[in-house]
Amino acid sequence: MSSRASIARAARATFRLALLARAACATLTLPLLAGAALGQPIQRQRVDPPPGGISVVLLGTGIPLPNPDRATAATLVLAGEHAVLVDTGRNAMVRLAATGRDDVSLVVYTHYHSDHIAGLGEILVNRAIAGSTEPLAVIGPKGARAVVDGFRAAYALEDGYRVAHHGEHWSSAGASAAVTEAEAGVVWERDGLRVTMFAVDHAPVEPAVGYRFDYNGKSVVVSGDTMKTASVIEMSRGADLLVHEAVDRQTIEQALPMLERAQPRRAAMTIDMMSHHTTALEVAEIARDAGVKKLALTHLVPTIPPTDAAEANFVRGMAALYSGPIVVGRDGMVVEIP
């Protein structure tokens, strides 16, 4: 088969996947931050939690495949005076700027795939520009120190240049990080906000973890990347909000035969990918079995456009398994728990 024919087949497969993501009907959405789309100017619009409650901002809902509407994994949890960032994916700093929050208390990592860590360097640079005088607190499972050290090494020349340019006005301390490698259990607690790490199953990635946030009787769980696992159900019991990754396996399987003919290597990688993530229908079962009050989907596979039609297609069948509200994440979306 000619390369031109292969390209044409791949294009048709991609087009078919896009068409399959356009079923009509509406889905629940929440307000977006102004300037949240990457193609728009960032307008700082400070996000604060409701008094005594928690706000969750879905900063990045995408995957490694580029989508101009979606940064990769980053979720901001706001409670009291604290702002905790779960993962620092590609363009996380752009999304964070839209929240008006330059006071992140803590970064926690679920695992170290590139789409969960890529934005750390720019976050550190912007802390130095802002004049932060303390290292950024970072907690993650084993491997966190190697990841942060790698970013610091990559930005070492940058730091030297900035000191030469700006002298004492540049904060090298702000561009540094204080790293703690932790195991499952309570990993951080301040002013009534408790952060608990728990193991998930993202094999062959190990360790991989999720987090539960408890504050003033309210609770949020962020799954990280995982296949369906009992630990997520146990840690999510009675939670006000579960933020869980999701794969629309139905749409992908419809497109796979054409992709296998056109790009067998890419098709094989797609099949591999589905084996260590959670399908949308499985996420609905998790939410049902855990009795969570609201469900938000992130890390959406395939990486769909942020439209009501595409989102309705993504969640088809979920309402038959879980009766609570289902939010299909868009970058900049804010979920409040009063």
Which residues are known to be catalytic? 115
* H/E segment holding residue 151: helix 144-154
**In the sheet where 106-108 sits, what is the strand order?**
177-181, 136-140, 106-108, 82-86, 74-79, 54-60, 333-337
Neighbours of 69 (CB within 10 A): 18
Helix (H) or strand (E) holding 195: strand 193-199
Residue whose entry in the numeric block shows the structure tokens 């390369």: 3
What is the rounded distance in angstroms from the CA atom of residue 173 to the CA atom of residue 131? 9
Strand partners, 212: 196, 221
Tokens 């607190």 -> residue: 137
**φ, ψ for residue 38 (rounded to 5)?**
-65, -25
Q: SS3 letters for 221-237?
A: EECCCCCCCHHHHHHHC
272 exposure class (CB count in 10 Å sphere: 0-12, 13-18, 19+)? exposed
